[in-house]
Amino acid sequence: MIGTRLKLARTAAGLSLRELEGQIDGLVTAQAIGKYERDEMMPSSLVLIALARALKVSEDYLLNPADVELVGVEFRKKQLTSAKETAEVRACILSEVERYLEVERILAIEPSKLFPMAKRPHVQTLDDAEAAAGELRKFWGLGEDPIPDLCELLEEKGIKVCAFSMPGNVSGVQAEVRAANEQHLPVIVVNGAHPGERQRFTLAHELGHMYLQMAGGLDPEKACDRFAGAFLIPAKMLIREVGPHRKDISIRELFQLKARFGASAQAIAYRCKDLGIFGPSLFSQVFKVFSANRWRLNEPNAMPGERPQRFQRLCIRALSEGVISEAKASELLGTTVRELVESLDKPPKDGANGHAARV
């Protein structure tokens, strides 16, 4: 039966039943497609091929049962504005994770366990969240240096990371997917349209939601913001760079620190306030400059986005080892065979680190 896969592929493509009917030139009606999705009818081979071509998936994909189920989704701070957008994001998460798990199975790779041997801390204050970030960095052997590629680190620790284009007011999504073997897999989605510094803070913030156990009346969003700042910008390193207390700071220095830590200048200013490096007056002065220059939403010197690369590497590895065909690799990566073959003998372009589904 193809119902689940067909609806998933159609929703991920952002098509209504009527729009999909148009994409296959009216070969069957929207009502018939709806019956296929409810497993009330099976399409003919001709219709199956047309549906697969319109949805940019293979016939085999549509015929195989779904291997994953979305068991939880949380949008942080801002919700998507329509049910259609929410459905598209949910479908894209499932589609991405399902392909990811498929190539891991092909290569006989066991999914990593999240936070191996690490005990999730209970936090009652913002200082507890700060301390928890330091403990996790210590447990993961990160030292006090900036993290060069946060996306790669999280994937190494068992978190599936996806980058989708979403409405600008949505920074990230945390999800949990249940695989066919009943294993629960954590997923973080970042807005692919956001600059790298914002993506990195979103990743660290969502990591906080996964790792921390909130107690008492602590605001989870504020606690995870504090965790994210401490995880990206360790106190000892920042104090070593800027000193324990400042009465003034130049905008140039803030943006040099942005490049150093891979965090926005605003996040660094907040971090300096949290650590007592900036007093209330200096903190206020810094943000007056940002507001006057309209930098609160769009800072200068935007960093390139962090794209998940592990999935693409695994697909290319499987192709190189001869365990999948060029057609299968292109299907997994969402590209054409020609584009895939042409890309294999070239270094990746800057910013083109991995496959990113589009919503």
Cβ burial, residue 87 (10 Å; 0-12/13-18/19+): middle
Q: Which two tokens stand for residue 287?
A: 């943000």
pLDDT, residue 353, reads: 43
Give the C-alpha separation, 141 to 144, whole Å. Answer: 9
Q: What are the beta bridge partners of residue 69?
A: 178
Phi, psi of 237 (to 5 degrees): -65, -45
Query: What is the C-alpha separation between 242 and 347, in angstroms, rounded?
Result: 37
- Residue that has been written with the tokens 């729009």 in this structure: 19
The CATH number of the domain holding residue 26 is 1.10.260.40
3-class DSSP assignment, residue 107: coil
Residues 228, 205: contact at Cβ < 8 Å? Answer: yes
The kind and range of the H/E element at 60 are: helix 59-63
pLDDT at 27: 93
Distance separating alpha carbons of residues 8 and 128, to the nearest angstrom:
41
Look at residue 46 and tell me if it is in a domain.
yes
Cα–chain center distance at 125:
27
Asked whether residue 54 is assigned to any structural domain, the reply reads: yes
Q: Tokens 């620790």 appear where?
A: 157
Provide the edge-to-edge strand list for the sheet that holds 68-75: 68-75, 172-179, 184-191, 160-164
Q: Are 215 and 120 in contact (CB under 8 A)?
A: no
Number of domains in the chain: 1
For residue 182, the model assigns a pLDDT of 65
What percentage of the chain reaches a pLDDT higher than 70? Answer: 91
The pLDDT tens digits along the chain (359 residues) read: 788 888 888 887 888 999 999 999 999 999 999 999 999 999 999 999 999 889 888 787 788 766 677 777 776 555 555 777 777 777 778 888 888 888 988 998 876 666 666 788 999 999 999 999 999 999 999 999 999 999 999 998 989 898 877 777 778 888 878 776 667 788 898 888 899 999 999 999 999 999 999 987 899 999 999 999 999 999 999 999 999 999 999 999 999 999 999 999 999 999 999 999 999 999 999 999 999 999 988 899 999 988 888 899 999 999 999 999 999 999 888 888 999 999 888 887 654 443 333 33
What range does the domain containing 7 cover?
1-66
State phi, psi for 189 to the nearest 5 degrees: -110, 130
- pLDDT (0 to 100) of residue 299: 93
Distances (CA, A) of 198 to 34, 136, 194: 39, 21, 6
Q: Is residue 165 part of a domain?
A: no
In whole angstroms, give the CA distance from residue 264 to residue 222: 17
Contacts of residue 54, defined as CB under 8 A and 6 or more positions apart, other chains included, come to 13, 15, 20, 23, 24
What pLDDT, on the 0 to 100 scale, is given for residue 251? 95
3 state SS of 49: helix
Per-residue pLDDT tens for 154-175?
A: 998 989 898 877 777 778 888 8
Q: What local confidence, expressed as pLDDT, does residue 355 receive?
A: 35
The DSSP code sequence of 277-334 is SB-HHHHHHHHHHHHHTT-SSS-SSPPPP----HHHHHHHHHHHTTSS-HHHHHHHHT
What is the crossing angle of helices 326-333 and 337-344, to 10°?
100
Side chain identity, residue 211:
Y
Residue 191 lies in a domain: no
pLDDT in tens, 5-48: 888 888 878 889 999 999 999 999 999 999 999 999 999 999 99
Query: What per-residue confidence (pLDDT) applies to 172?
Result: 81
Amino acid at 191: N
